[in-house]
Amino acid sequence: MFLPPYYCKIALSDMVSKRSLDQLNEAYCRRICNKVERLLSKPESKDYPAMAVTAKLNGYISEAHSSPGQRMKLDVRNHIEKELGGKVGTKSPITNCYNPIGNCAEQHASDYLNRKMTRAGKTTDYKMIQFSAAMRPRTKMSFPKCENCKLLFEKTP
């Protein structure tokens, strides 16, 4: 099931803490669960996204969940494919990560941030994006970044 992204147009100062991002992400996960509950009447057919994340860059906030990456903006898609050495929807030969390229919530959140930054006439520095802990909406369990997202978004020494 495809859930349309929630575009959050909140302009915040750079003082938003990591804890606040995690709280925003918990609220986003609740909204996803509520939407799934409303859309589907049979409890056994509920289809939650695997992961959800909230991201922040230069005062812009974006929320996203994992899904296939075919809807990504072309420049973001090209950046991700170049960094990971493969096409969206395939496994990365560089990281050997279990997640297909472009499916992660972090990659979708970076796409939404890039769209907001482009509209504002700014450029996106992917290594400067701050992410909440990735959370599974169904169980509210947090997970670390996968190898693809570590390569894409973590600063290298």
77-115: per-residue pLDDT in tens? 999 999 999 999 999 999 989 999 999 999 999 999 999
- All structural domains of the chain with their residue ranges: 18-153
pLDDT at residue 149 tops 90: yes
pLDDT at 26: 84
Locate 97 and state its tokens.
Answer: 């990560």
Average pLDDT, the chain: 81
| d(C-alpha 8, C-alpha 142), whole Å | 21
Smallest CA-to-CA distance from 21 within 103, 130, 126 is with 130
φ, ψ at 130 (rounded to 5°): -100, 130
Q: How many residues does the chain have?
A: 157
pLDDT at residue 139 tops 60: yes
What average pLDDT does range 140-154 have in this prediction?
92
pLDDT at 90: 93
pLDDT at 8: 40
Residue carrying structure tokens 């997640």 = 99
In terms of C-beta distances under 8 Å and separation of at least 24 residues, what long-range contacts does 40-45 make, across chains too? Answer: 40/1
* pLDDT class of 1 with cuts at 50, 70, 90: very low
